[in-house]
Amino acid sequence: MFLTKVALVDNPDTLAGYLSELSVVHSLFKEPLEFKAPITVITGENGVGKSTLVEALAVGMRVNPAGGSRHANFGHSGDIVSELHKTLQLTRRANPKDAFFFRGETFYNLASYHSTFSGDPLSDLLEMSHGESIMALVERRLRRPGLIILDEPEAGLSLLRQLEFMGNLVHLAAAGSQIIVATHSPILLATPGADIVEVSADGLRQVSFEDTEAVGAAREFLNDPRGTAAFLVEDTQ
């Protein structure tokens, strides 16, 4: 464990723009979020602030905000990250020798960056499918114990690949890594031993796998896929 707690220093009402309206921001001001397990999975609907939170954690830990390691030199932080990292207080048990940030929306930029280096183990990511390149990143790069922050890594992964990815996360944690992942995937939410934190309009709360909104929605659909689809189609006509 490296990162053990995150809290908001400034009153949310003093923050600029949409940050002042995010429930995750108000929740952190009321009570810090503690990281107690090697793997923490953060979930919640679109727009609640989970990606904003994980990107702020990455920047606070001095990782390249566009993705990659602390040494990656590409992207323009002013264009892609919020100001949230400036008002977060991070408590660390130790400083990781290695840290890596996977950001789904800039993964192509990360792959392009590595393609410019001859002999780089990730230089061929652009020659693969999106899913294959994500798995190659995990298998080739995320091998040293460190802090790994992932923002919606399931994008581009089939269900079977998500299961394989989940297994890799467990092995990485067992080898000494701390992993913080924001996801919509019920499969990643089922990661053995992970703490699950759900972000909602009411703020942050630790929940069980069964109580997450994503799992409930997936189960409801699978119990009656045709009925659910028919209802949604009728509702939009």
Q: What is the per-residue DSSP string for 24-53?
A: HHHHHHHSPEE--SSEEEEEE-TTSSHHHH
Domain count for the chain: 1
pLDDT tens for 69-99 read: 888 877 655 567 788 999 999 999 999 999 9
Which residue carries 């796998």 as its tokens?
Answer: 209
Q: Tell me the torsion sign for CA atoms 188, 100, 114, 52.
A: positive
**Closest to 193 (Cα-Cα) out of 12, 37, 10:** 37
Residues 49, 100, 195, 89, CA torsion sign = negative
Which of 133, 131, 132, 33 has its CA nearest to residue 123? 133
For residue 57, how far is the Cα from the chain centroid?
10
Percent of the chain at pLDDT above 90?
65
Q: Considering the domain boundaries, does residue 233 fall inside one?
A: no
Q: At 174, which CATH number?
A: 3.40.50.300
Q: How confident is the model at residue 78, as a pLDDT?
A: 55
Q: What is the mean pLDDT of residues 233-237?
A: 63
For 22, phi then psi, to 5°, come to -75, 135
Give residue 232's pLDDT. 79
For the full predicted model, state whether its pTM sits above 0.85.
Answer: yes
What pLDDT does 77 receive?
52
Share of residues in the chain with pLDDT > 70 (%): 97
> What residue numbers bound the domain in which 136 lies?
3-210
- Provide the mean pLDDT of the chain: 90
R_g over Cα of the chain:
18
The answer to whether the CB of 208 falls within 8 A of the CB of 60 is no
pLDDT of residue 42: 97
Residue 78: inside a domain, yes or no? Answer: yes
Q: Is the predicted pLDDT of residue 168 greater than 90, yes or no?
A: yes
| CA–CA gap between residue 207 and residue 14 (Å, rounded) | 30
80 within some domain = yes
Q: How many CA atoms lie within 13 A of 76 on its CB side?
A: 2
For residue 39, what pLDDT is reported? 98
Decide if 224 is inside a domain.
Answer: no
Q: Is residue 236 scored above 60 in pLDDT?
A: no
Q: What is the pLDDT of residues 48-77, one digit of tens each?
A: 889 999 999 999 999 988 888 888 877 655
**Alpha-carbon distance 24 to 27, whole Å?**
5
